[in-house]
Amino acid sequence: MIGVIYFIIIILANSVGAVSGMGGGVLIKPIFDLIGAHDVVAISFYSSVAVFVMSLVSTYRQVKGGLEVNWPKMLSLALGSIIGGYLGNYLFELIRIVFQSNAVVQGVQIILTCLTLVFAFVYSRNPFISFRLNSLLAYTFCGLTLGLLASLLGIGGGPINVSLLMLLFSLPIKQATVYSIATIFFSQATKLISIAMTTGFSHYDLTLLYYIVPAAIFGGLIGAQLSRLLNPKKVSLIFQLVIILVLVINIYNGIRLF
């Protein structure tokens, strides 16, 4: 039964996540926390798998559909995301080992997620500054920051991706969403490889992947199609609505936790 519930949530979350550039994890993680069927470590793993598959499908479909990508900049983001994804997973495990408490780990994730949500909402409503950076080093550093947050928070990427890309590089929102989803792909790939090389997957219920992977594929396909159909104004509206929804869920989870 829980597999079916996860299946439905992931399709809906990944569809919206692919359109907005947030990645479905920004919805999947807090909703799975709310359901409470698994601990924080398992939820972060399932969320990462779902977002990884979605980002792969969505990026491929959008690039194949003719969306132009600056590959040197994309690869610089990817390099930073790989480093950041490794550092984020290391930090996640460090916090879990030091505090020996799922509640503390979840609390840290909720607080940091809420801070990024507030920043992203404010900036999407009023882009008060833009730095217009253009160097590959800046893209690498941006990727590192985003990869670290994505892996640490277990949300795949989140709203901070699109906002930071727009802030640093003055990218239009639809282009920022594509770079964001690609960044998510590399950071989550790194996180999953890191798990495979350290703790392994034996203590996860891998039968749930029979629900999670197909749902993630469908969500990525639907999101890529919607992204091509919607204009930038509607993408911005979806982005802001999702931020409000996720902020409410995270605040509720935080109150329930503490």
pLDDT in tens, 187-237: 788 888 888 888 888 889 999 999 999 999 998 888 878 877 888 888 888
CA distances from 186 to 16, 31, 222, 229, 254 (A): 20, 24, 21, 26, 29
| pLDDT at 101 (0 to 100) | 81
Q: What angle do CA 111, 35, 3 make, to 5 degrees?
A: 125
| pLDDT at 76 (0 to 100) | 93
CA distances from 21 to 87, 127, 141, 160, 190 (A): 22, 17, 19, 10, 19
Per-residue pLDDT band at 140 (split at 50, 70, 90)? very high
pTM: 0.79
Torsion of CA 203, 98, 32, 240, to 10 degrees: -140
pLDDT at 65 over 80: no
| pLDDT at 157 (0 to 100) | 62
Q: What angle do CA 115, 118, 120 make, to 5 degrees?
A: 105
Beta carbons of 162 and 22 less than 8 angstroms apart = yes
CA distances from 85 to 54, 80, 205, 252 (A): 17, 8, 23, 27
| pLDDT at 54 (0 to 100) | 82
Give the tens place of pLDDT for each residue, 153-190: 766 566 778 888 888 998 887 788 778 878 888 878 88
